[in-house]
Amino acid sequence: MIGGMTWDAMDDHQPSARLRRLPSRMLAMIAMQADRLVNEGLAQMDARKWHYAALVALNESGPVSQAELSKRTGIYRSDLVSVINELAERGFVERAPDPADRRRNVITVTERGRGHLERLDKLITELQDDVLAPLTRPEREQLTDLLARVLEHHSRSRAS
């Protein structure tokens, strides 16, 4: 019904001066563009960003339940199901019932999954560089630090 911030529509003309430097607006537009770049890049490896998130988390924590993986990645429990399905189809993870607690599934990265993660990692790093292309190295770190602090603040205030 309603909606529609566009990139195409803004190619020609300058947007309003006051609008152009609104933080919330810039964040939305940059996030959209970053998402586009990441999705397009990962699509060429038949992957999605949640594949990457799940594999990274699994690789760091070792085998965990889906609920635990959900907490670590930020992917909803309900949506995690199909993410794990896709990763299992491709042979990157294995889903097995937990003998100690039969409500749970234990998700384990396979050797193939680890190899895939390594390649994804390189690609993701390149894509981050594309996103931050106009900034120098120290500026990128500055931006990353500032974003991390903003993010942590909002995470905390939400965890009440």
Which residues, 140 to 159, sit near its own copies by CB under 8 A?
140, 142-144, 146-155, 158-159
Total binding residues toward DNA, as defined by CB under 7 A? 32
**Distance between CA atoms of 72 and 62, rounded to whole angstroms?**
12
Q: Which does 65 bind (CB under 5 to 8 A by kind): DNA, its own copies, none?
A: DNA
Of 60 and 111, the one with the shorter C-beta distance to its own copies is: 60
Q: Can residue 23 be called a binding residue for DNA (CB under 7 A)? A: no
Nearest 5°: the CA angle 98, 102, 105 is: 45
Q: Can residue 138 be called a binding residue for its own copies (CB under 8 A)? A: no
Which of 34, 37, 48, 94 is in the footprint of DNA by CB under 7 A?
48
Q: Which does 90 bind (CB under 5 to 8 A by kind): DNA, its own copies, none?
A: none
Q: Can residue 66 be called a binding residue for its own copies (CB under 8 A)? A: no
3-state secondary structure of 60: helix
Residues 64-123 contacting DNA, CB under 7 A:
65-68, 70, 76-82, 84, 95, 101-105
SS (H, E, C) 125-137: HHHHHHHCCCCCH
**Distance between CA atoms of 71 and 68, rounded to whole angstroms?**
5
Starting at the edge strand found earlier in the chain, the sheet holding 64-65 runs 64-65, 105-109, 93-97
